Amino acid sequence: MSEDSANDSANDGADDSGTDTSGSYVEEGKSFDRDMNYIPDRIVREPEEGADPPQWPVEPGRYRLVAAKACPWANRAIIVRELLGLEEVISLGLAGPVHDKRSWTFDLDPDGVDPVLGVERLQQSYFARYPDYPRGITVPAMVDVPTGQVVTNDFPWITHDLFFEWREHHKPGAPDLWPADVREEMDEVMQRVFTEVNNGVYRCGFAGSQEAYDEAYDRLWTALDWLEERLADRRYLMGSTITEADVRLFTTLARFDAVYHGHFKCNRQKLVELPHLWGYARDLFQTPGFGSNTDFEQIKQHYYVVQTDVNPSQVVPQGPDLSGWTTPHGREQLG
């Protein structure tokens, strides 16, 4: 796996990180196609002048990660930031779980204003840099605090660069999320996880025809069966230690029974009925940085309220029972 590849592929499928904030995601008669056109700037240790896309310098305290615990793509960045111990280096602004047609908003903060950026909507940081920004207002986003301008919202590169470019600021003993000895295989695993699972649930949920849904459903469960088998004899996706691949899979598994099984019609089985995946998900949930950044109520609020073409009533279900997430997983024996 090259340090120059963040791995999530383009054009595989509008997304709940805010590419479409209207609540309309399903196109009648069509398969779901994710818009992966993000602001490509990067924050790097040694920026090159005149680089295309632009490069910004790593500077502790300069940037604010704006995210939402409801969104799986943003949840990745929140988890990685804590795993690497970057809490004192990059501040965190949290948007509420329910956005409107314009933007993610800071409903969780006093008076609905982000205390560092001084804005009510993430949209204001996008417009500070691009007054006529034509695309969706997405999380996660890295914002330059001095100017209030968005730097990048390219979520695969954000977590990639938190590891590679901010290494001097990692906490002692921070996990090696991109181990060199398995990086080539990890690249292949993350690619399949993204296309078939992370994005696969959306292809099911936002399918505009029976044929599109059937194809998406079959693809998703082929991949989940592969993962169930893979995790039968290894504790994590790449072996005995946590990697970026595990972070990327976890955020989908955490939402599976609460949202994807019913809301997105991914209902062959529940996660709790897949013994290896369920044990693996609990193992990660009970690892510092994962469960503490997983908010099931915000997750349900986001999907069931915002995605009105899938759930026009906006009724949020009370279930499922979440008590199992803290039960023993028994996977320590695998490494």
What residues act catalytically?
Answer: 71, 202
- DSSP letter string over 103-121? --B-TTSGGG--TTT--SB
Cis peptide before 97, with omega less than 30 degrees from 0? no
81 touches 90 (CB < 8 A) = yes
Distance CA 13, CA 194 (A): 10
- DSSP letter string over 54-111? -EEE--TTTEEEEE-TT-HHHHHHHHHHHHTT-TTTSEEEE--S---SS--B-TTSGG
Binding residues for glutathione: 104
**How many Cβ atoms from other residues are within 10 Å of residue 215's Cβ?**
15
Distance CA 201, CA 186 (A): 21
| Cα Rg of the chain, angstroms | 19
